[in-house]
Structure formats: structure tokens, C-alpha cells
Amino acid sequence: MPGYGAGKNLILETVPMRVHWLQHADFEGLGSIEGWLAARRHTVSGTRLQRGETLPELEAFDVLIVMGGPMNIDQYALYPWLRTEKALIRAAIAQGRRVLGICLGAQLIADVLGGPVTRNAELEIGWFPLQLTAEGRAHPLLAGLPAEFTSFHWHGDTYALPAGATRLIESAACAQQAFAWDGSRVLGLQFHPEVTQAEAVEWFRHESVTPSRYVQTADVILANQAAFTANAGWIDAILDRFLAV
């Protein structure tokens, strides 16, 4: 993978785990995370909250992955399951499970840990550079990643860093792009390293965007095949460390 640096050939051992993921919209799936989990023989289950499916008991999983979605974290009138979802995330963290959140998922984790979620100063949609913070460069979850790399973004909200969390990544448009809590056990990613080209095509079927300083057109985003290929490498590298033995 171009630009991955000294860690690009590093393969970390994982043991099969029971991974449960939470979906908020039919058009937002696991993306390239699905292939990573399958290749390492993790047992995968999921709850489609938007379809009214029942959340699992804590004893049913070792790892919880909370994906993105078009809603805000406090739209309880439209999405009443947000309350029970937050309760599950809170309990999973309290009971020592590994918890990963992406975009909305990161905001939900931040919220249950006491970090308020608000509108970001900029809408950020497209391919934009990310920079590791000083703490991020030293953190084992990001070992081997370059100090700057480009990934996919689609968000208008942001979170305040929860107490005790470590800020790992930032961008020009958003200071809070990733955080870790309790060492490496809880991880929130505001950006979308899991998004595939096929999934991005589906997103644009549901939402249109107006180009601005940090918003690219669908044509520009979808034409960048090299960026999608690199994107899969970033999530693979992060997962290799997040679920390492």
C-alpha cells in the first residue's frame, strides 16, 4: 500500500473472536471490515437497529463495532432505539469488551463516556488528509501508520474528547478524528477508512452534496480508485492492532 511506511508488511496474530456490529441504515454496512473479519475467521453477528431488531446480551460477544448513519445521536423521537443502543455501548465498555465506533459510532461512544457531540465548524465529505497527533504517533493502535495519510470523510458533527481519552488523529477541518480510551480497548474513528467504492456509490444514491471547501463532488470522490484501495489498507492496519492478541 503506497505510503504505509515501515509497518506495511507487519502481520499481527489474532485469535477468533465473537464480533457483533450495529447498523443504523440499510445503505451503511461494514464495508471492507467484513472481508477483514472473514479472513481471520472471527464469528460475526449484527443488529439492524433501523429494522427494529433486538440488541444482544453482553455475554453474546467479545467485540462491539458501532457503524455510521445519517442520524444524530440524540434524535430519540425519530430513532427511539438510540437510547437502548447507548445503554449497550455503555455496558460493553463497563464490562471490558473491545468497542470500536466509526463516525456516528465514534460520536455515540464519546457521548456515553461524557464527551458532548455538537456540530462541527465544517461539513467534511470526500478525500482529505489526516495527521497523527504526537500521542497518535506514539500509540500502539497506530504503530507503523504514516504521520499523514488520506482517508474518506462524511460528517457534519464532532465530539469533545472524553475525560481520560487520548486524541490520536486530526484534520484541517476537524480536530477530533480519532481517540482511544482505556489504553487500546475502546477506539473511536470519526473518518471512514472502511468505505469501499461500491458503498460510496450507494451513499450518493441516498444523499446529495453541495461542493464547498471541505466537500468534494460525487464524481471526484468516486473516480479516485487509488484512494479507495489505500483506504482499505488503513482499516486493515488499524484492525490488525485493535484486535491483536
Annotated catalytic sites, by residue? Answer: 103, 192, 194
pLDDT tens-digit series, residues 73-107: 999 999 999 999 999 999 999 999 999 999 999 99
Mean pLDDT by 10 residues, the chain (245 residues): 40 83 97 97 98 98 98 98 98 98 98 98 98 98 95 98 98 98 98 98 94 97 98 97 88
Q: Which of 40, 224, 33, 231 is nearest to 130 (CA)?
A: 231
Count Cβ atoms within 10 A of the Cβ of residue 9 and give its class: 0-12 exposed, 13-18 middle, 19 or more buried.
exposed
d(CA 226, CA 177): 22
Q: Is residue 63 part of a domain?
A: yes
Under 8 Å between Cβ of 101 and 63: no
Q: Is residue 10 part of a domain?
A: no
Q: Report in angstroms the alpha-carbon separations of 208 from 158, 189, 202.
A: 21, 23, 11
CATH number for the domain spanning 200: value is 3.40.50.880
Q: Is residue 1 part of a domain?
A: no
Q: Is residue 103 part of a domain?
A: yes
Give the range of the structural domain holding residue 197, as residue numbers without chain letter.
16-242
Average pLDDT over all residues of the chain: 94
Q: Is residue 115 part of a domain?
A: yes
pTM of this structure: 0.94
Q: Report in angstroms the alpha-carbon separations of 219 from 194, 195, 209, 226.
A: 19, 16, 11, 14
Q: Is residue 233 part of a domain?
A: yes
Under 8 Å between Cβ of 169 and 188: no
Q: Is residue 8 part of a domain?
A: no
